[in-house]
Homo-oligomer: A and B are copies of this chain.
Amino acid sequence: MPDSRIYTAALVVIGDEILSGRTHDKNIAQIASWLQVQGIRLKEVRVVSDDMAAIGEAVNALRVRHDYLFTTGGIGPTHDDITVDAIAAALGVPVIVHPEARAILDGYYAGRGGLTEARLRMARVPEGSDLIPNRYTGAPGIRYQNIFIMAGVPQITSGMLDALSGTLEGGAVLLSETVGCWVQESEVAELLRQIEKDHESCQIGSYPFWREGKTGANFVIRSVDPEDLATCSRALSEALGAIERPAIPGGI
């Protein structure tokens, strides 16, 4: 039997490059999808600038509210990488050089010019941390209690998520089914409300779009109960069929 407790997580995306619009964040969707599979719900994301106080405030606000807190960005070797210092300061713990991280970086940079002072920055962690393996570039991620400090480069983040897969305690996975329809959502608003009300364990989200002059919407039904999900999805499809707006299973 799956655990009936709901496990939640928050994410702090750290980086001026996201807030300037220069870089399109890919980590929110990537971490959200990964958490889903682990039976953990992403409840809140904050994007903050490369600023000690801003990072510290977000981390302290969110780490106590959720089972898990993830951060991305700001753990490289350059002067603008201040995530470790900001989080350690927020937690009130010193920053130390992690011996295992140092050894990993030593090995990684052996044929690449050696472990310089800048590169050694990537071995610094809040005291009491464990490491998260990074199979791409040596510099590890960091786990401190329920805080997971990850890279900002999406490919590296992805490798760190792989390394964490299955290691976090989660609850029942929130399942979803999508039903698409060439309809204006305003035509079916009452129908959606009624069907959601009739299926207590389900939520229905309505996501309209406009493509090549045509109006459509995808309706996403979510539930932790596979039977309720199937019943609700069927009821919605039938209701759409009954008003001559055929449901498109799987969405448009």
Q: Which residues of A contact B (CB under 8 A)?
A: 13, 16-26, 28-36, 41-50, 54, 76-81, 109, 112-113, 116-119, 121-122, 136-137, 153, 155, 174, 176, 184-187, 189-190, 192-193, 196, 203-210, 220, 222
Copies in the complex: 2
Residue of B nearest to A57 (CB): B44
- Contact partners of A136 in chain B: CB under 8 A: 210
Check if B48 sits within 8 Å of A44, measured CB to CB: yes
Residue of B nearest to A18 (CB): B28
Check if A208 sits within 8 Å of B153, measured CB to CB: yes
Query: In the complex, A185 Cα to B22 Cα: how many Å?
Result: 19
Query: In the complex, A121 Cα to B25 Cα: how many Å?
Result: 32
Residue of B nearest to A73 (CB): B207
- Contact partners of A30 in chain B: CB under 8 A: 21
| Other A-B pairs, 11, CB within 8 Å; known A16-B222, A79-B196, A119-B189 | A19-B42, A20-B42, A20-B174, A23-B29, A44-B46, A44-B48, A45-B46, A45-B47, A76-B208, A79-B204, A80-B203
A44 CB → nearest B CB, Å: 6
- Contact partners of A32 in chain B: CB under 8 A: 18-21
Query: In the complex, A174 Cα to B48 Cα: how many Å?
Result: 17
Query: In the complex, A116 Cα to B176 Cα: how many Å?
Result: 29
Query: In the complex, A187 Cα to B187 Cα: how many Å?
Result: 59
Check if A78 sits within 8 Å of B189, measured CB to CB: yes
- Contact partners of A184 in chain B: CB under 8 A: 112
Check if B119 sits within 8 Å of A186, measured CB to CB: yes
Check if A47 sits within 8 Å of B28, measured CB to CB: yes
A29 touches which of B13, B24, B192 (Cβ 8 Å): B24
- Top-4 shortest CB links A-B: A21-B32, A118-B189, A21-B33, A45-B47
- Contact partners of A49 in chain B: CB under 8 A: 43-44
A32 CB → nearest B CB, Å: 3
- Contact partners of A196 in chain B: CB under 8 A: 79
A146 CB → nearest B CB, Å: 19
